[in-house]
A and B are shown apart, each in its own frame.
Chain A
Amino acid sequence: MSLQSNVSQGDEIRSPKLGFSGWSRWIWSQVTSMRTALMLLLLLAVAAIPGSIFPQRSSDPNGVTSYFQNNPELAKNLDVFQLFDVYTSVWFSSIYVLLFISLIGCVVPRIAHHWDAVRSEPIETPRNLSRFPAYLAKASKRDNSLDAIAESLKSRRFRVKVSKTSVSAEKGYLRETGNLLFHISLLGVLVSVGLGGATSFSGQRVLVEGETFVNNLAGYDSFSPGAWFDSKTLKPFSVKLDQFRATFDLRNQTNVGTPLDFEAFVSLRETPNGDSTKSKIRVNYPLEAPGANIYLTGNGYAPVLTFRDADGNISFSGAVIYMPQDANYTSLGVVKLPDAKPNQFGVISFFYPTKAELKTGAFTSGYPAPVDPLLSMNVYQGDLGLDNGIPSNVFELAVHGLKQVAGGKSGTKPITLELGKSAELPNGLGTVTWDGLKRFASLDIDYNPMQVWVLVFTILAFFGLFTSLLIPRRRIFARKTATGYELAGMAKNDDPRLLGLLEDIAGDLKVRKK
Chain B
Amino acid sequence: MKDVLLNPVLDGYALYAVYAAMALYTIAFLTFVWQLSRLSSTDKKLRKTAGQLEIAGLSITVLAFLFHGAGTVMRGIAASRVPWANMYEFSVSGSLVIVGIFLAAWFVKDIRVIAVLVTGFALLVLGSATTLFYVQVKTLMPALQSYWLVIHVTVAVLATAFFNIAAALSVAFLLRSWGWLEKSKLPIAKLTKRVLSVFPESRKLEQLSYRFNVIGFMLWSFTLVAGAIWAERAWHRFWGWDTKEVWTFIIWTIYAGYLHATATRGWSGARAVWLSLVGFAAVLFNFTIVNLFFKGLHVYSGLK
Write the residues of chain A forming the contact surface with B, with a CB cutoff of 8 angstroms: 1-7, 34-35, 37-38, 41-42, 44-45, 48-49, 51-53, 55-56, 58-60, 63, 86-87, 193, 202, 247, 249, 251-255, 258-262, 282-286, 293, 295, 297, 444, 446, 448, 451, 454-455, 458, 462, 465-466, 469, 493-494, 496
Known: A34-B263, A494-B211. A260 touches B241 (CB 8 A): no
Q: Are B238 and A451 in contact (CB under 8 A)?
A: yes
Is residue B146 contacting chain A, with contact meaning CB distance below 8 A?
yes
Is residue B242 contacting chain A, with contact meaning CB distance below 8 A?
yes
Q: Are B250 and A48 in contact (CB under 8 A)?
A: yes
Known: A51-B246, A284-B145. A38 touches B139 (CB 8 A): no
* Beta-carbon nearest neighbor of A443 in chain B: B236
Known: A284-B146, A454-B238. A254 touches B8 (CB 8 A): yes
Choice from B8, B246, B254, B294 contacting A253 with Cβ under 8 Å: B8
Q: Are A45 and B253 in contact (CB under 8 A)?
A: yes
Choice from A193, A253, A261 contacting B1 with Cβ under 8 Å: A261
Q: Are B264 and A58 in contact (CB under 8 A)?
A: no
* Beta-carbon nearest neighbor of B260 in chain A: A38
Q: Are B142 and A262 in contact (CB under 8 A)?
A: yes
Choice from B148, B225, B256 contacting A462 with Cβ under 8 Å: B225
* Beta-carbon nearest neighbor of B239 in chain A: A193
Choice from B238, B257, B294 contacting A41 with Cβ under 8 Å: B257
Choice from A7, A37, A255, A261 contacting B138 with Cβ under 8 Å: A255
Known: A59-B241, A255-B139, A458-B225. A35 touches B233 (CB 8 A): no
CA–CA, A451 and B238, complex, Å: 8
Write the residues of chain B forming the contact surface with A, with a CB cutoff of 8 angstroms: 1-6, 8, 136-139, 141-143, 145-146, 148, 207, 210-211, 214, 217-218, 221-222, 225, 228-230, 232-243, 246-247, 249-250, 253-254, 256-257, 259-267, 275, 290, 294-296
Q: Are B137 and A41 in contact (CB under 8 A)?
A: no
CA–CA, A446 and B236, complex, Å: 7
* Beta-carbon nearest neighbor of A297 in chain B: B236
Choice from B146, B236, B240 contacting A59 with Cβ under 8 Å: B240
Known: A41-B260, A252-B6, A254-B136. A202 touches B236 (CB 8 A): yes
Q: Are A494 and B207 in contact (CB under 8 A)?
A: yes
CA–CA, A249 and B141, complex, Å: 11
Which residues of chain A are within 8 angstroms of B256 by Cβ–Cβ distance?
Answer: 41
Which residues of chain B are within 8 angstroms of A86 by Cβ–Cβ distance?
Answer: 241
- Report the minimum CB–CB distance from B47 to chain A (whole Å): 29
CA–CA, A455 and B238, complex, Å: 10
- Report the minimum CB–CB distance from B241 to chain A (whole Å): 5
Known: A35-B266, A260-B2, A465-B218. A42 touches B257 (CB 8 A): yes
CA–CA, A462 and B232, complex, Å: 19
* Beta-carbon nearest neighbor of A40 in chain B: B257
CA–CA, A262 and B142, complex, Å: 7
* Beta-carbon nearest neighbor of A283 in chain B: B142
- Report the minimum CB–CB distance from A82 to chain B (whole Å): 13
* Beta-carbon nearest neighbor of B8 in chain A: A254
